[in-house]
Structure 1
Amino acid sequence: MAQLALTAARRWARVPLPLRIAVVYLAARAVTTVFFLDAASVSTSLSRFGADPGLGSFVVGWDAQWYWIVADYGYPSTLPSTDAGTVAENAWAFMPVFAYLAKAVGLLVGSWGAGALVVSFASGYAACLVLHRLLRPRVGRSAAMWAVTFFATGPLAAMFQVGYAESLFLLLLFLALDAVARRRYAWLYLLVPVMAFTRPGALAFALYLALHGIVRWVGRRSEPLRTVQVVHIVVAGLLSAACGFAWQVIAAIATGVPDAYLSTELAWRRLWIIGGVDGFVPFEGWLQASQFWFGVWGMPPDWGPVALVLLVAVVGVTLLLVPAVRALGADLRLWSASYLVYLLAVFFPQSSTFRLLLPLSPLWGAVAVPRLRWWRLGVLAACLLGQWFWIHEMYGLGNTFWQVP
């Protein structure tokens, strides 16, 4: 038996890497499809999708509806308002690249939903390839393959099969991180603008490039920093910052409302905060949410900010000191820190928080570093269990405030 397993492992290792990743990815997608079928079987008339929904309904459900609206109707020139006179939810909260790419592909495959599925599915596979390329020099071939497996089967892997922009954004992000890691900064002039108009996150990348530039400057004796590289880092960082604010400017010009984009984003936050929200204040969302959730959980709301500070401290220590995380190298840790700071600054944590953590997926490399078989199989089992639970709750039973993907 041991000899058969060894022979199978050797044969598997000789399979071309893209094909091995394709096998893992397709197997993961088959499992996700089973989980969606299970969600459809438990869905009732009380859930978001009604009784006995088809898989196509899940593809175009939840936020995918907004991307569909963007593709078919574009963006409103007049912001809709609520009965209270505040800005209501509208399409300006959703970037155009995924919506229109899905529409273009949909012209070939029959519908916007089919096009969205193709784009998400294909982008997910390509993201797996780039993630492996990004991680292999840092954690080794075996750990990189396991990291890709965790990524493909993770709790939020349903995003590879629905009309959300996450898969495409992750592909672009991994390509950008790989370009920085290989010091091929010129690629960022193409990748950053497309990434910025796929979903929010360009400002986090601007912060990352700033930190990357500082690290390169400090370590220029061990790794020479040429003038042309300095120029690329600075220009690409400024481009990322400009792209990060560009959608706000576009929305303001198109609607005639200076804060059209921020008001649109706050429309969702107002649903959570008693008394509403007057305006956007950086970092305020997490403080408000910590008090909100502690109250929901039956604990003193004042404990929320304390728990938030402790959480930030634990994450900081993890990124700085945990050996498996340090093995990823400075760049991936700097990206993780930059993105977390960005989320702290702009986001109001609620049920979609886990989805918004997907850009931290390179950290799967740290999870895969321990070579213990029981550890890796245990993480895989946890990924699959988490994915089943997430799909079951968000797509099968979703009908309340904490069941929104």
Structure 2
Amino acid sequence: MPAVGLYVLFQLLAFGVLWLMSWKADVSPGRFVGAFDANWFTAVATHGYDQVPTVLPNGAPGENSLVFFPLYPALTAVLTFVGLPALPAALTVSLLAGCAAAWGLFVLGRDLAGPRVGLLLAVLWSLGPGSTALHLAYSESLLVALVAWTLVAVSHRRWLLAGALTTFAGLTRASAGALVAAVGIAAIVAICRRQDGWRPWLGGLLAPLGLLGYLGYVALRTGRLDGWFWLQNAWQMHFDLGRFTWIQVREGLTANTSSWITVTAIIVLAAVALLLWTWCTRLPVAWHVYGALTVLIALCSSNYFQSRARFLLPAFVLTVPLALALAKLPTRVLAVLLPVGAAISAWYGSFLMAIAHLAP
């Protein structure tokens, strides 16, 4: 309950900062809550995937809702059946999923190093630089909830549950591929150790079904095996081995004037440093695999540099060594540090939307 309670408290704080920044910019905060990707998710929840894939005169694909994975809008649609409008339903899904994620992260940290670390792991994730997405109609909170409880299942060697949860994660975001790999490698380790009989075999085979199933569906709709990746080109998004990120980081650190690019560049470098720190920390192999691949996916995609903090949000493994270090501090010190960190993080996300007019 403390983990869930602090999660809700910091989300309220962040939304308050968004309201203040919106007031300063003379716009309504409601304009941002349902904007950007939220428009696409609520459209899918309301109308399904009713758009026909199109090709523009230059040969590029037109923007299409098939890029957005189905589980989050499906849960939103379920709530619309009981009378909620699409946007409030989507925000409800985000809130409940965020609470489930905080609970799962607490369990992970508690099992690793005690309740204090579990609480800090949940809190640090909830106030990360990309946490603005947690109180918007975005699917990050749902993905992290599924990832957290999947890793709990793996640690308890409940392979069928881990495989099933990974299937659902694969229907949430493409970055769930990192979790598929983590569960698969953990299952292979268990098989090599001759543990748990046939269960790791089945769990490992279940893990990729959601992701592969949806990519296959998009391939059928587009008539291309690479259909989902092709549709991403409508947003100039593709895997570029980190070239775009490196160019933006270099610009942010060498420009004559500071901007949101500079702040985002610092966040990217901090994420790389934290990843290196996790490699020096004794963690389960599935955690290492998941964390490394999530960072790789987040930093090696082109375009939308301002979204790097949000893309890194599912990489909560990066906060584990920080949680272990902060757990040694007195509670009164944490009572100051954590709210200050939450306020700074909320300012960053709110500035992007209300002042810079960029998607988080």
SS of the counterpart of 2:63?
Answer: coil
Name which of 7, 16, 20 aligns with 1:34. Answer: 16
The amino acid across from 2:351 in the alignment is E
- Counterpart in the other structure of 2:167: 193
- Counterpart in the other structure of 2:53: 79
The answer (yes or no) to whether the contact 1:79–1:260 under 8 Å persists in 2 is no
The answer (yes or no) to whether the contact 1:93–1:265 under 8 Å persists in 2 is yes
The amino acid across from 1:318 in the alignment is W
- Deviation per CA, 1:93-130, whole angstroms, max 9, x where unpaired? 10111112112213335300110111111111111111
Task: Determine the C-alpha separation between the residues in 1 that align with 2:86 and 2:7.
Answer: 23
SS of the counterpart of 2:41?
Answer: helix
CA 1:210–1:96: 2 relative to 1, 3 Å:
closer
The answer (yes or no) to whether the contact 2:71–2:171 under 8 Å persists in 1 is yes
The answer (yes or no) to whether the contact 2:184–2:207 under 8 Å persists in 1 is no
Task: Determine the C-alpha separation between the residues in 1 that align with 2:271 and 2:341.
Answer: 24
1:318 aligns with 2:277: yes
Name which of 227, 243, 248 aligns with 1:287. Answer: 243
CA 1:314–1:27: 2 relative to 1, 3 Å:
closer
SS of the counterpart of 1:352?
Answer: helix
Task: Determine the C-alpha separation between the residues in 2 that align with 1:75 and 1:340.
Answer: 29
The answer (yes or no) to whether the contact 1:131–1:148 under 8 Å persists in 2 is yes
Task: Determine the C-alpha separation between the residues in 2 that align with 1:123 and 1:312.
Answer: 24
Note the C-alpha offset of 1:196.
Answer: 0.9
1:255 aligns with 2:222: yes
Task: Determine the C-alpha separation between the residues in 1 that align with 2:318 and 2:226.
Answer: 35
Task: Determine the C-alpha separation between the residues in 2 that align with 1:332 and 1:311.
Answer: 19
Note the C-alpha offset of 1:41.
Answer: 0.3
1:131 aligns with 2:113: no
CA 1:317–1:384: 2 relative to 1, 3 Å:
closer
Task: Determine the C-alpha separation between the residues in 1 that align with 2:352 and 2:132.
Answer: 10
The answer (yes or no) to whether the contact 1:285–1:348 under 8 Å persists in 2 is no
The amino acid across from 2:278 in the alignment is L
Task: Determine the C-alpha separation between the residues in 2 that align with 1:161 and 1:345.
Answer: 26
The answer (yes or no) to whether the contact 1:213–1:233 under 8 Å persists in 2 is yes
1:237 aligns with 2:166: no
Note the C-alpha offset of 1:152.
Answer: 2.8
Larger Rg: 1
Note the C-alpha offset of 1:25.
Answer: 2.7
- Counterpart in the other structure of 1:350: 305
CA 1:125–1:296: 2 relative to 1, 3 Å:
closer
Alignment of 1:114-263 (within 5 A): 114-216=88-190, 220=193, 225-226=194-195, 228=197, 231-263=198-230
- Counterpart in the other structure of 1:47: none
CA 1:297–1:28: 2 relative to 1, 3 Å:
closer
CA 1:264–1:123: 2 relative to 1, 3 Å:
same
CA 1:382–1:366: 2 relative to 1, 3 Å:
farther
The answer (yes or no) to whether the contact 1:203–1:342 under 8 Å persists in 2 is no
Task: Determine the C-alpha separation between the residues in 2 that align with 1:77 and 1:37.
Answer: 34
Note the C-alpha offset of 1:204.
Answer: 1.4
Name which of 322, 329, 345 aligns with 1:387. Answer: 345
Q: TM-score, normalised by structure 1?
A: 0.75
Task: Determine the C-alpha separation between the residues in 2 that align with 1:312 and 1:98.
Answer: 26
Task: Determine the C-alpha separation between the residues in 2 that align with 1:94 and 1:33.
Answer: 25
- Counterpart in the other structure of 2:33: 59
Task: Determine the C-alpha separation between the residues in 2 that align with 1:35 and 1:92.
Answer: 33
Task: Determine the C-alpha separation between the residues in 1 that align with 2:349 and 2:309.
Answer: 13
CA 1:345–1:313: 2 relative to 1, 3 Å:
closer
Note the C-alpha offset of 1:206.
Answer: 2.5
When the two chains are superposed, the root-mean-square deviation of aligned CA atoms in Å is 3.0
1:268 aligns with 2:235: yes
How many matched pairs? Answer: 345
The amino acid across from 2:289 in the alignment is L
The answer (yes or no) to whether the contact 1:368–1:376 under 8 Å persists in 2 is no
Query: Which segment drifts farther, 382-391 or 190-199?
Result: 382-391
The amino acid across from 1:140 in the alignment is G
Point out where structure 1 has 5 or more consecutive residues left out of the alignment. 1-17, 45-50, 271-279, 300-309
Task: Determine the C-alpha separation between the residues in 2 that align with 1:395 and 1:242.
Answer: 35
Point out where structure 2 has 5 or more consecutive residues left out of the alignment. 256-268
Task: Determine the C-alpha separation between the residues in 2 that align with 1:92 and 1:298.
Answer: 38
1:70 aligns with 2:55: no
- Counterpart in the other structure of 2:264: none
Query: Which segment drifts farther, 60-69 or 361-370?
Result: 361-370
Task: Determine the C-alpha separation between the residues in 2 that align with 1:345 and 1:240.
Answer: 23
The amino acid across from 1:291 in the alignment is I
Task: Determine the C-alpha separation between the residues in 1 that align with 2:349 and 2:278.
Answer: 29
The answer (yes or no) to whether the contact 2:51–2:64 under 8 Å persists in 1 is no
Identity %: 21
Q: TM-score, normalised by structure 2?
A: 0.84
Task: Determine the C-alpha separation between the residues in 2 that align with 1:99 and 1:201.
Answer: 17
Query: Which segment drifts farther, 59-68 or 255-264?
Result: 255-264
SS of the counterpart of 2:82?
Answer: helix
CA 1:212–1:257: 2 relative to 1, 3 Å:
closer
The amino acid across from 2:338 in the alignment is L
Task: Determine the C-alpha separation between the residues in 2 that align with 1:40 and 1:346.
Answer: 30
Note the C-alpha offset of 1:331.
Answer: 3.4
